[in-house]
Structure 1
Amino acid sequence: MKLPEDVRQALVRRFQSKHREWLIGDAGESLWPLEVALGAPTEQAALRQVDGVRAWVSAWQGWQGVGILSWCDRRWKALGVQRLPEKLALRGPEDVAMWIGESARWERAQSRYRALIARWPVLAQQLPRYFDVLADYSDADYQRLTEMLDWIASHPNSNLYPRQMPVSGLDSKWLDGRKGLLTDLMAAIQEDSSSDLDFYQRCGLKAPPLLVRMRVLDQSLRAHVGGVGDITAPVDDLAGISWPVSHVFIVENLQTGLAMSDMPGAVVFMRLGYNVDVLARLPWLARARCIYWGDLDTHGFAILHRARSYIPELQSVLMDEETLLRHKALWVDEAAQHSAAELTLLTKDEQQLYRDLKQQRWGQNVRLEQERIDWTTAWNVLQGSLA
């Protein structure tokens, strides 16, 4: 026997699983009206729970919600004729949404869905994936989204920087969180299913130059760049420098790189993360010995793996089991480990340590941040790598 609250909970689950299909409309018409059986008991079942049946009938007698409630008569030997609630029929998604308190979200999503497919019919199948966007965006955010789609569709090869687009209220913070959404919707509007275009390529926009931060650890090398020792510049500008760099260090933590003193023939790159592949665009780097020092966690090894696909001879330092175990008191948790089971470009020892971290050999999501390693020890290792 389903009470009104039982029906509401069932409809919540139904809405969660079906609301995207319902938004399309045509695919769901055969489902309506949606009938929910209320579980009328047999006479034997009713005799075992007379009070429960009375409470169930009373709940539906006092119910004044949405839908068509059907009743049935049961002629029972011991209890006589009983009028029982049999089923509830809901005419469409609007009824379901009203039942579960989602009316405002449903109406807003449906209205925006209809407006967008009227403008771009090719979005009909793609938009339901973004039901929450349609339902929950503020009016200002929704208008900004539609204006961007309209402008980009009308200017597919503008070659402007994103902030140059004449869209009211557009700022970098707003855009950064919506690049995936815009890329996906523009691909649908352009009817191009290829997935190898990033946001800028898909929208015909100019990507801001990727800035990298590099310290020059040799006075003679600094002379090649006007005596400047700490440089943040587009990687293509750094590629044009002609100088005799013999050692390139790549570290993840900014302060680790800032702590490094002068070393002959050396430069250090800081905080590249997974953008480490940009170093492949530096022709002078191919003539240098390259050394990577990252965090001792799964993402540190994943970045090393990625870097080696561009710099095959890249060596790692201080990313070994001995270093990890010697600093056990300084371990922290890695929020989320890298997903790969193996990273093929690691050495045998690196791969084993990566596997041990993944298999929780020493505890849950063990992580040693590189800046926690004893600096005297670390500096000696870094200097020794020049030999």
Structure 2
Amino acid sequence: MKLPEDVRQLLARRFQSKHRSWLAGESGENQWPLKIALGVPTEQAALRQVEGVRVWVSAWQHWHGPGALSWCERRWKTLGVQRVPDTLILNGPDEVAQWIGEGTRWKQAQSRYQTLIARWPLLARPLRKYFDVLADYGDADFRRMADMLAWIASHPNSGLYPRQLPVSGLDSKWLDGRTGLLKDLMAAIQGDAANDLDFYERCGLKAPPLLVRMRILDQGLRTWIGGMGDITAPVEDLARIHLPASHVFIVENLQTGLAMSDMPGAVVFMRLGYNVNVLAGLPWLTHAQCIYWGDLDTHGFAILHRARSYLPGLRSVLMDEDTLLRHKALWVDEKEQHAAAELTLLNETEREVYQGLKQQRWGQNVRLEQERIAWDTAWPTLQRLVGTL
């Protein structure tokens, strides 16, 4: 016997699994009307739980909501003629959504979906996965999104910076969290199933220059460029310096790079993350010994792998099993591990640690952040390394 709350839970699960296909009108020929049997008991079952049957019947007698409720009569030898709830009939997604308290969201999502596909029919399928955007965006955000799609569709190669677009309310904060959404929808509007361009390429916009931060750890090298020691600049500008550095460090944490003292012939790049590929645009790096020191986690090794595809001679430091185990008290969780099962550009020692992390050899999602390694251990190690290269 299904009580109204049981039906609500059943419909909530169905809505969760089906609402995106319902939004696109992919309900299936035989899905509606949706008939939910309420579990009329046999007489023997009713006799075993007379009070439960009374509660069940009463709950449906007092129920008011979307859909149609059908009743039936049962002629039982002992209990006599009983009128009991038999089937709940729902005629479409609107009624399901109302049943579970999602009526307002569903109505808004459906209205906005129809508005967008009327303008851009190619959005019919990709919009399904953005149900929450359609349902939950405020009116101003939704209008801004539609206006931006419209402007870019009309000016596919403007070459403007995003903030230059004549779209009301557009600012960097609004845009930062929505580039993936806009890229996907523009790819659909443009009929590009591959969708392998980044946001700026897809929208015909100019990307802000990627700023790279570099510290020069040698007084002679600082003199080479007028005494500057801490530089943040586009990589194209740094490429023109032709700095005669002998050792180049790449570190993930900003404060790690700031803590480094003077070292003959050395410079340090900080906090590049997966953008390490920009260093391929610095021709003077080919004449230096390049050293990578990242976090001891799967993403740290993935960045090393990526960097090595641009800097084949890149060496790693303090990314070994001994360093990891000696700092066990400082481990934290890596929220989400890198997806790759194998990183082919790691050397044997690095690969062993990466595999150990992936296989949870030392614990669940182990991570040692670079800056947690004691400085009186790290700095002498870096100095010794430079002395041997």
Determine if the alignment matches structure 1 residue 172 to structure 2 residue 172: yes
> 1:166-202 deviations in whole A, cap 9, x for unaligned?
1111111111111110011001101111222010000
Which amino acid letter does the alignment assign opposite residue 357 of structure 2?
A: L
Distance 2:326 2:57 in 1: 70
Q: Secondary structure at the match of 1:268?
A: strand
Match of 1:55 in 2: 55
Which amino acid letter does the alignment assign opposite residue 183 of structure 1?
A: K
Distance 1:93 1:116 in 2: 20
Structure 1 position 300, deviation (Å): 1.4
Residue pair 2:297, 2:334 contacting (<8 A) in 1 also? yes
- 1:319 and 1:96, CA in 2 relative to 1: closer, same or farther beyond 3 A? same
Match of 1:144 in 2: 144
- The residue correspondences of 1:1-387 to structure 2 (distance < 5 A) are 1-25=1-25, 27-28=27-28, 30-386=30-386, 387=388
Q: Secondary structure at the match of 1:83?
A: strand
Q: Secondary structure at the match of 1:152?
A: helix
Residue pair 2:280, 2:311 contacting (<8 A) in 1 also? yes
Structure 1 position 317, deviation (Å): 1.1
- Using the size of structure 1 for normalisation, the TM-score is 0.96
Distance 1:368 1:74 in 2: 69
Q: Secondary structure at the match of 1:256?
A: helix
Structure 1 position 330, deviation (Å): 2.6
Distance 2:123 2:231 in 1: 45
Query: Identity over the aligned pairs, expressed in percent?
Result: 76
Instruction: Output the aligned Cα RMSD.
Output: 1.5
Q: Secondary structure at the match of 2:291?
A: strand
Structure 1 position 28, deviation (Å): 4.3
Which amino acid letter does the alignment assign opposite residue 123 of structure 1?
A: L
Structure 1 position 285, deviation (Å): 0.7
Mark the runs of 5 or more structure 2 residues left unpaired by the alignment: none
> 1:67-113 deviations in whole A, cap 9, x for unaligned?
11111122222222222211011121111111111111011011111
Structure 1 position 354, deviation (Å): 1.7
- 1:26 and 1:269, CA in 2 relative to 1: closer, same or farther beyond 3 A? closer
Residue pair 2:333, 2:364 contacting (<8 A) in 1 also? yes
Q: Secondary structure at the match of 1:73?
A: strand
Residue pair 2:249, 2:268 contacting (<8 A) in 1 also? yes
Distance 1:374 1:53 in 2: 69
Q: Secondary structure at the match of 1:345?
A: coil
- Which consecutive aligned stretches of 4+ in structure 1 deviate over 6 angstroms post-superposition? none
**Further displaced range: 154-163 or 329-338:** 329-338
Residue pair 2:242, 2:283 contacting (<8 A) in 1 also? no
Residue pair 1:211, 1:232 contacting (<8 A) in 2 also? yes
Residue pair 2:38, 2:87 contacting (<8 A) in 1 also? yes
Distance 1:139 1:28 in 2: 31
Which amino acid letter does the alignment assign opposite residue 251 of structure 2?
A: V
Residue pair 1:8, 1:99 contacting (<8 A) in 2 also? yes
